[in-house]
Every structure is written in structure tokens, then in C-alpha cells.
């Protein structure tokens, strides 16, 4: 045979065929990895679902655990004539439901083939046990254990989020990771930490004989894969405190956030009204109810609602004023029921006049901060008011306002801080001056900040000038947190200016009734609470009640922000609630003299004041 090109190609063909035949010979005859039993068996994979990771609170208490429930599976091809009524009775369901399901399987028998489908989901253990006793009467039906979520504390429904079966949309977004019938975290921590919590599915391989009965384990389970349980997660939440916070906020709309200033760990985050943990466990049943609730319990106000901060914001303007040198601790300004400019006036309440810097915080004087803001914006240091305005915005943002803080909590929103660009757009370039935007001085106007921003401001002041990004996952063996949560974030205001503000906040709370201090109601003996009230004007109804506080004054352990919609003065609702939470955290109990306050807060109902679109 000549070795011409035709023959070379024929040799190539022969070699290729030899390769295919060799490989076939290997897998069909030599290698018995692919062999099955001689009796014509085939394998059935039964999936073992991993238990989901447990979510702990900061003290090791279980916030979210697992309990066993059973899904009832059916392989329609294996089902013989059976007693529908009997099965319905055991399972405590309507016989019609079973009939309908069976009819549906018959209709789709081509598509289903030999597959097993889920007929009923999440049967409680007792029901399943009753079924197991009589299961022999119902060939083709079997149970499969699934672990579902259990919530020992009624704490942090919105934070924790819910777990539910993945839908078509979810599958499309995660094509390779999930299969129909899997569960996944949809909101809150469950969603944010889905990767750690979910674990890995395993499977057991069974052999099915030629009559389609499951007979034995394939290779005695050698090829089985064990499920890997999800990782446990420790949160920074204090379960007891969270629960107490929810009680204080019940029947009110708003938010309550507590942070440990020395770490940025979120101790409590309440958004009210929220989702009850009982609803979380069975979200499918309650979803319609929750989403049609006019108070929007799914909306996490603590990180999403852009509120005007009100007078609390004076602290920021005061600090900027000190840093820029337009005001000093000794500066005295008069106030005659407000700040007058031209024919206009920004009103204030009755208090002594003139007052210095600390007193301005203590008495929450509006006029004082109008002077500061005007001096800031008309500062000769800057070429124009636009530049001064942007400098101000830069300062404010260094406190974390007007941007997402970067917390590990999903769906955080950034709020809004206006700058020259914004006002140029609204009023035209040169169409505005300091007095146009004067309400910024007292935290009104275009400012939008979330309760988390306010709690972070409070923690920053408590730390005398820096904050850690608030976060909700605690560093633990299983799950480590990112480095950014361990970094100090300094504001643009020098740390030396903070003690003056702290002094004012201390006097606002601890000067006693009749002194002019706005937050005397928040005082707790021995705790040295420092606070600042705010009353955010609300053109749509009652004003919002705002309060931030931290305690103790030196070496603070907790910083709280309370925001009660339509609660009126800061001292009416927000200050009592925030101070009660502080007291509970530091003293583990509420003192006798303040029991009346606690009762009033627990009992009051402001829901009717809140205007909602039904």
C-alpha cells in the first residue's frame, strides 16, 4: 500500500475509530465504575437537603433555628388504586385536593414520566408520623424530611428576612446553583448571607429493579454524597434588646436603631410596624396580607426611609461651625422667638437669650444655627456661596450622610444631602442665597437621612469624632467580616471640637426640668445619658419625634436613634423610647421612677395619626 494522502487519511480514520472503540471497551467491559447490578437495576437519586445555618444573636442566643417538617412526595407511575378518603383523613386535608392533584398528574403524565413530584409541602411532624404508620397502604407515596425555619424570639423579623421556595424568576437569575423545590433566603440576613447559610445538597443513590421498586443502596452508599450543613452566623443583634425595642415601638410608625460605638455593631434595629416572626415561618400564607398592609411592614424604615433629621442635625452644623471657626464655644447669639431676616423669620421657642454654644444645644435654639449656617455659607474664605455650600456638603457627607454607609445589611439607601448643583437647578445659578436655604441649619429642607444615619451620627459623637461602619454580622469562626468594618472613619471635623458638643448634649438631658434643657425626660440616674431632641416639621400632619442619645458620657456603650413618625416633639415619644432602651441595655431593668414612662410608651398608639394611602 502506498502511503499517499488518501491512505494517510484512511489510517487516520482507522485510528480515530480505534480510539472510540478502545474507550467503549474500557467503559463497557474493563472499568466497572459504570456497571450496575446484573439484574438490570437503575439508580434513583434521592436528595438530602442540608440543614440551613443557624443565626445567633451577639450573646449566643438562637434568633433563627431549624425544625423538621416533611414534604409528601409521590411518584405517579407507582401509584396504584388507593383509598383517597383514607389518605386525606390521615393527612388532614380535603379529599378533593388529593383528587385534583392526581388528576393533574394524570394529565401531565408524559412530562412527569418516572419522576417523583412533591404533593404536599411542610407537613408537621405529627401528621407525617400518622402517615408513616399507614404508608404501606399507599404505594408511590413517601415523605422527605426538610428543615424549616423556627424563631425562638419574636425579635428582628425585618432584619432576619424570610426563606422561601425559589420561584421561576429566582431560578433564572441563579441558573446553576438552584433547582426547583430548593429554598433560599429572600430578604434580610437570610438573603445577604445565603451563600454561607444554605450549605450543600447531598444525595443517596438507590437501586430500582426492573419492576421499578426501590430495592437497595447502590454500592452500599459508596457513591453517595453527604449534605454539608450551612454555616452558623452570629449577628451583632442583642435578642432581648431587640425584642424590647420592638415592644416600645409597637403601634407606632418609625424606627429605633442602637449601635455599639466602639465597634459599629448594630445592637438593635427596629422598623415599625415590622414583620412578626410567626409570619416569617410561613411567609407564603401571609405574603398577601403583608404586602397589602397600608403601613408597609416590608419597608425597612431604619435603612431605607429618608427622613428630615430635624434639630438633631444642629449637632452637625455646630461641629462644622467650630471647625470652620465661624463660631466658638463662647460665642453668644440672641434669639427673640426666632431668627429674623428681611421680612421673614425662622421661629424658635421661648428660652433665655443670649446663649452660648453649649446652651444652644441644650435648649435647641433655632436662631443660633441660622447664624452659624449663614456665616458658613457667606464665609469670605470661599469665592462664592456655591463653593461654600459644596464645602458644607463635603463636611456633612464625612459624617456618613447622603450616601450608603456601606453596612452589610441589604437594601440600604443613601438619603440625600443637597449641594450647590441641586440649588442651581432649582433656583437657577445666582438665584439663591444663604437665607434661601436657611432651614438646612435646623435639619429641615431637602435633607434626607435614614435612622441608621442618625444612629451613626450619635456613635460618631460618642466616639468623639469617628465611626465604624454599622454592621450586623459579627466576626465569628465560621464567617469573617470584611476589613472595612474594622476601620475608623474620621469626619472632617477635628476631634478636639467634639467634647463641646458632648457637653451640650449632656446638659440637654441632665440639667433638670425647668432649666430649659429639652430632653430632661430622658435622664436616668447614674447613666449620664447625653442626647439631642429633634422635632421634624411635617407638612402632612403631626410633626415627627426624633431623639438621639448615647451613654455613659465617658466610654459610651450604646448609641441610639429613635424616630417616631407623627410623634410630635422629640421629647414626647422619641426621647422616652430611646432612653428606655438605653436604660434597659445598661441596667438590664427599668428603674421604679421610670416605670410610668415605660407603661406609657408600651401602651400608646399613634397608628391613627399616620396618614397612609389605602
Partner 1 sequence: MRELGGHRGRGLAKSIDWSLVICYLLLILIGWVNIYASIHSTEPSSIFDWSCRSGKQAVWIGTSLILASIILFALNPRIYEGLSVPIYLVTLGLLVGVIFLGIEVKGSRSWFEFGPIRFQPAEVSKISTSLLLATVMSQLGYRIGRIRDFIITALIILIPMMIIVLQSETGSALVYVGFIFMLYREGLSGWLIFMVGMAILLFILTLTASPFVAILVLVGIVSLCICLYSGKFRWWLFICVPFIVLMAFVPMILDTIAIRTLGEEAVAAATESGQLPLLLKIKPLYILLGATGVSIPFLAYHAFREGNTFTHLSILSLIAGIALVFSADFIFNSVLQDHQRKRIEVLLGMKEDPTGVGYNVNQSMIAIGSGGFAGKGFLNGTQTTYGFVPEQSTDFIFCTIGEEWGFLGSAFVILLYVFLIARIISNAEKSREAFTRIYGYCVACCIFMHLFINIGMTIGLMPVIGIPLPFVSYGGSSLWAFTIMLFIFIALDSNEKKYF
Pick 15 or 350: Cβ nearer partner 1:
15
Beta bridge partners of 55: 64, 233
Minimum distance from residue 477 beta carbon to partner 1 (Å): 18
**CA–CA separation, 326 vs 131, rounded Å?**
79
Minimum distance from residue 111 beta carbon to partner 1 (Å): 9
Minimum distance from residue 172 beta carbon to partner 1 (Å): 12
Cβ contact 166:184 at 8 Å: yes
DSSP state of 114: T
Pick 114 or 596: Cβ nearer partner 1:
114
Pick 31 or 92: Cβ nearer partner 1:
31
Q: Which residues bind partner 1 (CB under 8 A)?
A: 5-6, 9-10, 12-14, 16-17, 19-21, 23-25, 27-29, 31, 33-36, 40-43, 110, 113-115, 176, 208, 210
DSSP state of 594: G
Minimum distance from residue 454 beta carbon to partner 1 (Å): 37
Minimum distance from residue 15 beta carbon to partner 1 (Å): 11
Pick 207 or 389: Cβ nearer partner 1:
207
Pick 25 or 427: Cβ nearer partner 1:
25
Pick 20 or 134: Cβ nearer partner 1:
20
Pick 113 or 152: Cβ nearer partner 1:
113
Minimum distance from residue 130 beta carbon to partner 1 (Å): 31
Cβ contact 237:57 at 8 Å: yes
Minimum distance from residue 35 beta carbon to partner 1 (Å): 6
Minimum distance from residue 216 beta carbon to partner 1 (Å): 15
Minimum distance from residue 485 beta carbon to partner 1 (Å): 18
Q: Do β-strands 530-536 and 544-551 pair in parallel, antiparallel, or remain unpaired?
A: antiparallel
Pick 59 or 210: Cβ nearer partner 1:
210
Minimum distance from residue 90 beta carbon to partner 1 (Å): 29
Beta bridge partners of 546: 534, 563
Q: Alpha helices, DSSP H only, in 26-65? A: none
Q: Do β-strands 544-551 and 338-341 pair in parallel, antiparallel, or remain unpaired?
A: unpaired
Pick 24 or 612: Cβ nearer partner 1:
24
Minimum distance from residue 136 beta carbon to partner 1 (Å): 24
Residue in the structure block whose three cell numbers are 428543615: 147
Helix (H) or strand (E) holding 113: none
Q: Find, among 454, 436, 188, the residue nearest to 307 by Cα.
A: 454
User: Helix, strand, coil proportions of the chain in percent (round to 5)?
Assistant: 40, 20, 40
Q: Find, among 516, 367, 532, 384, the residue nearest to 441 by Cα.
A: 367
Pick 76 or 451: Cβ nearer partner 1:
76
Minimum distance from residue 120 beta carbon to partner 1 (Å): 24
Pick 23 or 340: Cβ nearer partner 1:
23
Pick 211 or 540: Cβ nearer partner 1:
211
Q: Find, among 468, 416, 469, 470, the residue nearest to 269 by Cα.
A: 470
Minimum distance from residue 27 beta carbon to partner 1 (Å): 4
Cβ contact 106:59 at 8 Å: no
Pick 24 or 132: Cβ nearer partner 1:
24
Cβ contact 137:86 at 8 Å: yes
Minimum distance from residue 21 beta carbon to partner 1 (Å): 6
| Long-range contacts, 351-358 (Cβ 8 Å, 24+) | 351/516, 352/516, 356/329, 356/330, 356/331, 356/332, 357/318, 357/322, 357/327, 357/328, 357/329, 357/330, 357/331, 357/500, 357/504, 358/329, 358/500, 358/503, 358/504, 358/507
Pick 67 or 107: Cβ nearer partner 1:
107
**CA–CA separation, 426 vs 413, rounded Å?**
23
Q: Alpha helices, DSSP H only, in 94-187? A: 95-107, 109-112, 125-134, 157-160, 168-173
Q: Do β-strands 55-56 and 233-234 pair in parallel, antiparallel, or remain unpaired?
A: parallel
DSSP state of 344: E
Buried (b) or exposed (e) across 108-133, using 16+ Cβ within 10 A? eeeebeeebeebbebbeeebbeebee
Q: Find, among 236, 225, 288, the residue nearest to 258 by Cα.
A: 236
Amino acid at each position: 500500500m502506498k502511503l499517499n494522502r488518501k491512505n494517510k487519511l484512511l489510517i487516520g480514520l482507522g485510528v480515530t475509530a480505534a480510539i472510540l472503540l478502545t474507550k467503549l471497551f474500557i467503559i463497557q467491559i474493563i472499568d466497572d465504575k459504570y456497571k450496575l447490578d446484573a439484574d438490570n437495576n437503575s439508580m434513583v437519586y434521592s436528595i438530602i437537603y442540608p440543614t440551613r445555618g443557624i443565626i445567633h444573636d451577639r450573646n449566643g442566643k438562637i434568633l433563627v433555628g431549624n425544625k423538621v417538617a416533611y414534604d409528601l412526595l409521590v411518584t405517579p407511575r407507582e401509584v396504584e388504586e388507593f383509598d383517597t378518603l383514607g389518605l386525606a383523613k390521615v393527612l388532614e386535608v380535603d379529599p378533593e385536593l388529593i383528587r385534583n392533584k392526581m388528576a393533574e398528574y394524570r394529565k401531565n403524565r408524559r412530562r412527569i414520566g418516572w419522576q417523583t413530584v412533591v404533593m404536599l409541602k411542610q407537613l408537621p411532624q405529627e401528621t407525617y408520623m400518622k402517615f408513616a404508620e399507614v404508608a404501606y397502604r399507599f404505594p408511590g407515596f413517601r415523605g422527605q424530611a426538610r428543615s424549616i425555619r423556627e424563631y425562638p424570639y419574636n425579635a428582628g423579623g425585618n432584619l432576619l428576612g424570610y426563606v422561601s421556595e425559589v420561584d421561576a424568576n429566582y431560578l433564572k437569575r441563579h441558573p446553576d446553583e438552584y433547582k426547583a423545590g430548593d429554598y433560599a433566603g429572600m430578604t434580610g440576613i437570610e438573603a445577604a448571607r445565603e451563600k454561607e447559610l444554605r450549605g450543600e445538597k447531598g444525595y443517596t443513590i438507590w437501586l430500582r429493579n426492573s419492576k421499578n421498586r426501590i430495592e437497595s443502596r447502590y454500592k452500599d452508599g459508596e457513591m453517595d454524597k453527604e449534605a454539608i450543613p450551612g454555616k452558623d452566623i452570629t449577628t451583632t443583634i442583642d435578642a432581648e434588646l431587640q425584642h424590647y425595642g420592638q415592644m416600645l415601638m409597637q403601634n407606632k410608625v418609625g424606627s429605633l436603631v442602637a449601635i455599639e460605638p466602639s465597634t459599629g455593631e448594630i445592637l438593635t434595629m427596629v422598623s415599625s410596624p415590622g414583620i412578626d416572626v410567626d409570619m416569617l415561618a410561613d411567609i407564603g400564607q401571609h405574603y398577601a396580607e403583608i404586602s397589602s398592609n397600608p403601613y408597609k411592614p416590608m419597608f425597612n424604615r431604619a435603612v431605607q426611609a429618608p427622613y428630615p433629621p430635624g434639630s438633631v442635625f444642629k449637632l452637625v452644623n455646630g461641629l462644622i461651625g467650630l471647625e470652620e471657626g465661624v463660631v466658638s464655644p463662647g460665642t453668644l447669639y440672641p434669639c427673640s422667638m426666632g431668627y429674623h431676616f428681611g421680612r421673614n423669620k425662622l421661629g424658635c421657642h421661648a428660652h433665655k437669650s443670649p446663649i452660648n454654644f453649649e446652651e444652644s444645644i441644650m435648649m435647641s435654639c433655632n436662631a443660633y444655627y441660622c447664624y452659624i449656617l449663614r456665616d458658613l455659607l457667606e464665609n469670605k474664605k470661599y469665592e462664592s456661596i456655591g463653593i461654600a455650600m459644596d464645602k458644607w456638603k463635603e463636611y456633612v457627607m464625612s459624617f456618613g450622610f447622603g450616601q450608603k454607609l456601606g453596612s452589610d445589611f441589604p437594601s440600604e439607601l443613601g438619603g440625600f444631602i443637597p449641594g450647590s448643583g441641586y440649588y442651581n437647578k432649582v433656583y437657577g445659578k445666582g438665584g439663591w442665597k444663604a437665607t434661601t436655604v436657611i432651614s438646612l441649619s435646623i435639619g429641615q429642607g431637602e435633607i434626607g437621612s435614614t435612622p441608621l444615619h442618625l444612629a451613626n451620627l450619635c456613635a460618631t459623637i460618642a466616639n468623639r469624632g469617628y465611626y465604624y461602619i454599622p454592621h450586623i454580622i459579627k466576626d465569628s469562626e465560621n464567617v469573617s467580616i470584611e476589613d472595612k468594618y474594622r476601620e475608623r472613619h474620621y469626619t472632617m471635623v477635628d476631634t478636639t471640637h467634639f467634647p463641646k458638643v458632648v457637653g451640650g448634649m449632656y446638659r440637654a438631658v441632665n440639667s433638670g426640668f425647668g432649666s430649659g434643657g429639652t430632653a430632661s425626660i430622658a435622664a436616668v440616674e447614674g447613666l449620664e445619658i447625653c442626647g439631642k431632641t429633634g422635632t421634624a416639621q411635617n407638612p402632612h400632619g403631626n410633626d415627627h419625634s426624633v431623639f438621639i442619645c448615647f451613654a455613659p458620657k465617658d466610654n459610651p456603650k450604646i448609641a441610639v436613634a429613635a424616630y417616631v413618625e407623627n410623634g410630635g416633639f422629640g421629647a414626647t415619644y422619641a426621647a422616652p423610647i430611646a432612653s428606655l432602651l438605653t436604660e434597659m441595655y445598661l441596667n438590664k431593668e427599668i428603674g421604679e421612677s421610670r416605670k410610668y414612662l415605660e407603661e406609657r410608651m408600651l401602651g400608646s398608639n399613634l397608628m391613627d395619626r399616620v396618614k397612609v394611602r389605602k
